[in-house]
Amino acid sequence: MPEGMQGRYVGLADEYARFWSPVIEPMGLRLLEMLPLGLAWRIVDIGCGTGNLISKIVAAAPNARYLGLDRAANILSAASKSGVPLVLADGCRLPLRNSSFDVAVMAFALFKFPSPLAGLTEAKRVLRPGGVLGITIWAGDTHVLPGDEIWEEVLVDVPRSPDESDRLEDLNEIEKLRGVLESAGITGSDIHSETFERTWTPESLFALKSELTHRARLVRLPVDEREKRLAQVRAYLAGMTPSSFIWRPSILFARAQVPSTV
């Protein structure tokens, strides 16, 4: 998990793995289907997070050496049970040799880099000529979850930390993402959008937001005030119609190839 995520989820690796990793896993698995993992000898997973894709990558690439990187030490520790090589590293300054990997994976990572261009430039540097980079990014504003409006209302006076900022608006359209890839010298990318569906419940949304997404903001409130606001959220979610809990995010998938040398 890159850059800003390390501060946002300090001490919350278990919560991330429990509440959020299963949500984005189907989208990550779809990305893996688009990559030539079976032909790869060396694979780098940039922003591997808690490691929900590790076993799938390893299974799809039985002949490859896998390396996972993330900047958040506590998040990376949650992936250590996988038993694969992991490195604490900044995605914008990879401690890796030039042209040393066949495939690079960036699943829901790039938009959290302070400079997506720097991250892509580094990914290109460590990929061999002809190597393949796979990326997932939220399209538009479809990452907004059902009921998010009530959280913004009850926490309007509790500012977000700088760790929660991202560069998604610079990347969340096909042409935006293609432009950054081309600026990094990665041309001929195949980028398209796919829509997924998930039905939430009041309980699952409340747990995700209270125990993970907004936990850092909530703990800054006095206990009595916090409970009062959480009660407002519960009441709001309980009053939502069943159809309101159907979430259909669109995901941008990019499969880009590093130019081969002439």
Question: Can you tell me the mean pLDDT for 232-248?
Answer: 98
Query: Which two three-digit tokens encode residue 196?
Result: 């997924």
pTM value surpassing 0.85: yes
Where are the domains positioned within the chain?
A: 5-143+165-199+248-257
Determine which of 1-10, 65-74, 102-111 has the lowest per-residue pLDDT on average.
1-10
Go through 195-212 and write b for each residue having 16 or more CB atoms within 10 A of its CB, e for each that does not.
Answer: eeebebebeebbebbbbb
Burial class (CB in 10 A: 0-12, 13-18, 19+), 16: buried
Say how far apart CA 134 and CA 32 lie, in whole Å: 8
pLDDT tens-digit readout, 217-227? 999 999 999 99
Q: Which residues contact 125 (CB under 8 A, 6 or more apart)?
A: 94, 98, 99
- Distance, in Å, from the CA atom of 203 to the CA atom of 137, rounded to the nearest integer, reads 26
71-90: per-residue pLDDT in tens?
A: 988 888 888 888 899 999 99
Looking from the CA of 217 toward its CB, the CA atoms found within 13 Å total 21
The three-class DSSP label of residue 225 is helix
> Does the CA dihedral 76-80-82-84 come out positive or negative?
positive
Q: Across the chain, what does the average pLDDT equal?
A: 93
What are the DSSP calls for 75-134, one per residue? HHHHHGGG-S-EEE-BTTB--S-TT-EEEEEEES-GGGSS-HHHHHHHHHHHEEEEEEEE
Amino acid at 168: L
Distance CA 182, CA 227 (A): 49
Could you report the per-residue pLDDT of 101-121, keeping only the tens digit for each? 999 999 999 999 999 999 999
Whether the per-residue pLDDT at 56 is higher than 50: the answer is yes
- For residue 255, what pLDDT is reported? 97
For domain 5-143+165-199+248-257, the question of CATH label 3.40.50.150 is answered with yes
Angstrom distance (rounded) from CA 132 to CA 260: 11
The single-letter DSSP state of residue 262 is -
- Other CB atoms within a 10 A radius of the CB of residue 140 amount to 14
